[in-house]
Structure 1
Amino acid sequence: LKNIPAAAGKTEAIAALKARKAALDRTATRLRHALEEAMCRGDAFTGAELIELARHPLLAPSLARLVWLGDGSAGYLVEGGLALRDARGQLQPLGATEPVRLAHTIDLLARGDLHLWQRDCFEAGRVQPFKQVFREVYPLTAAERDEREGTERYRGQQVRSAHAVALLAGRGWINTMEDGLRRAWHQHRLGAWLTFDEYFYAASELPVLTVRTVSFATLDTFEPLRPADVPPVVFSEAMRDVDLAVSVAHVSGVDPEATASTVELRAALVRETCALLNLGNVVVDGRWATITGTLATYRVHLGAGLVHLQPGGMLVLVPVSAQHRGRLFLPFADDDPVTAEVLSKVILLARDQDLRDPALLAAIRRQ
């Protein structure tokens, strides 16, 4: 049965089971968030501790779908926490006292094997409990390596203050009134500050704010830190938060220049999806996926999801609905409707010989 019959659902036993399931779902969500925070903080576990955690019935499935870093090794937790399996299938035993932590995307990028983990997720059909190997990542730019105090990567971007403040508050940022918004990384004894040109107002006092800088300083003495001296994971996560706020709360809607990392993530997803489905007529180039179809050549913008027909013209495709989104494979549990929309359009147009919608076919042939 897909659903419990209405009459049966009212019985005491079924009601108790449904309540128990709801409680377990809430616990699983909390555990998922706790694991994501542990990844961002760089929390270390011992091999013995992982063996104990792997016995937890709610934790075990999530632990097994995440990439861990050991002493010189990286892999998925296998054999009840006794070993790590790398992207090529090789097993590395874990010592009882060996320090192990969840790999952050920027760790795998620095190792040079991020693409292997991304491909492995697709080939195995592995859905991670949160974005790990397909997480938006923000390394330092060449210019930021030479900056003395903070980065101006988003300078001049205008955001709706109420929306931006609410988004960042949900990610641990505090409105300090006089110094913009701040997020603290207590384990590193440092903080990130997001400041605005309207510095003489509290962040929530004006309808629109203009981003100035993202800077870092110690929490003890407030001594400014050069971006190059900030731990890479902290820098990446701070910039990921700000990128989200700038993109979603931008006064003119999503700003295409503020979502470069998201575009890179979608480009990787498109490449791996096309490889998995043997779609050889799709080429990813920068912010665009070019599809050489049977009926026409299309270009899908990886940021906005807009479809252009070549040599000119637009093609309007209805976004994939929430109820059908589950038919698309995304290697993470986070809801990401725009990414699902982009993937669905690329797949649909790559197989345009199978299109049957008369209105869509007419629109393509009119161009």
Structure 2
Amino acid sequence: MTEGKVFPLKEDIKLIIAHPYNLFESVQWDLYQRYLFSNAIQQPFKQVFRELYIPTSDELEQLTRSARYQGHQIQPQKTIALLRGRGWTVSYEEGLQKIFHKEGYLVTMYAMADWYTPSDVEAPTLELVYFHSIKNNQLVPITSIDPVIFSEVMRDIDLVVSVAHVGEVDPEASHSSMQMRGVLARESTSLFGLNNVDVKERHILVKGQLADYSIHLGSGMVSKNDRQLAIIPVHSQHRGKIFLPFVDDDPKSAEIISKMRYLAQDNQIKDPTILAQINA
């Protein structure tokens, strides 16, 4: 990242919108994230703070399949509604698929489900994800898949696991989403001047003046001494008070950052209901 410098462009040069993978590969991703926060720059869509999915060691070992979401139960109708808006199609025989014509392959997410049944006795369970060649239907190794496409496919499925999961909860398996919220939390502590917050892999630890708190980066649930605190999430009309470096609607991240700031300054809390829980 070269700040403050202008480089002339040739007429035949090609420009692309950088994906987090490009920034990750150039080892400059964190520099861009910090620059957006320090200069309070809000992007028109979630780009620099977009979730990134890299093939895991298990996926590289299995070579042609991904089992990272195997075993998660999902709500069929909500899953279809989410994925159809992202270019996926529903097949009786094959399940959910997305075709990449230019690259020559399609991805299939298998699940034991009747996608056309309004209500199922038992929620379907996700199985394996495969990439197939359009020409000969042969399995394509994960290492041969465009890293940007692989990341976006896994992001789609992660969204399903997070939003359409049975029980309507944010499961802890949405690891990439929690990682990105952790980055947002770390940068926010600098922006707010908070020195009593420690961001871990799955939780934000807040050392307040009244008590110590833990905020889960997936669900946003707050606990004190392993006891859950009922703190009402930030309402939509208050989201603008929390700076997020992208315009995309992300209420869960706004809620988590809002709770972090709120509890880091717990000596200023005036809500008697919350104070009663903290002092219990």
Letter in 1 for 2:108: W
Residue-by-residue CA offset, 1:25-75 (whole Å, 9 max, x unaligned): xxxxxxxxxxxxxxxxxxxxxxxxxxxxxxxxxxxxxxxxxxxxxxxxxxx
| Whole-Å separation in 2 of the counterparts to 1:161 and 1:138 | 24
Alignment of 1:45-124 (within 5 A): 86=1, 88-124=3-39
Specify the alignment match of 1:302 in structure 2.
217
Cα distance, 1:102 vs structure 2 = 0.7
Specify the alignment match of 1:11 in structure 2.
none
Residue 259 of structure 1 pairs with residue 171 of structure 2 = no
Specify the alignment match of 2:246 in structure 1.
332
Residue-by-residue CA offset, 1:183-228 (whole Å, 9 max, x unaligned): 1122212211111135xxx433363221111111122222210111
Residue-by-residue CA offset, 1:9-29 (whole Å, 9 max, x unaligned): xxxxxxxxxxxxxxxxxxxxx
Alignment of 1:1-367 (within 5 A): 86=1, 88-198=3-113, 202-205=114-117, 207=120, 208-309=123-224, 311-366=225-280
| Whole-Å separation in 2 of the counterparts to 1:235 and 1:186 | 15
Cα distance, 1:87 vs structure 2 = 5.4
Change (3 A) 1:254 1:363: closer
Letter in 2 for 1:343: I
| Whole-Å separation in 1 of the counterparts to 2:161 and 2:171 | 10
| Whole-Å separation in 2 of the counterparts to 1:136 and 1:361 | 35
Change (3 A) 1:265 1:162: same
Letter in 1 for 2:266: D
| Whole-Å separation in 1 of the counterparts to 2:230 and 2:4 | 43
| Whole-Å separation in 2 of the counterparts to 1:299 and 1:147 | 36
Q: Which runs of 5+ in 1 are unaligned?
A: 1-85
Specify the alignment match of 1:19 in structure 2.
none
Letter in 1 for 2:22: D
Q: Which runs of 5+ in 2 are unaligned?
A: none
What CA RMSD, in Å, does the superposition of the two structures yield over aligned residues? 1.5
Identity %: 39
| Whole-Å separation in 2 of the counterparts to 1:209 and 1:313 | 32
Cα distance, 1:327 vs structure 2 = 1.1
Residues 203 and 216 of structure 2 are in contact (CA less than 8 Å); yes or no, is this contact kept in structure 1?
A: yes
Query: Given the two structures, how large is their TM-score scaled by the length of structure 1?
Result: 0.72
What is the total number of aligned residue pairs between the two structures?
A: 277
Residues 204 and 217 of structure 2 are in contact (CA less than 8 Å); yes or no, is this contact kept in structure 1?
A: yes
Higher relative contact order (CA 8 A, sep 6+): 2
Letter in 1 for 2:74: V
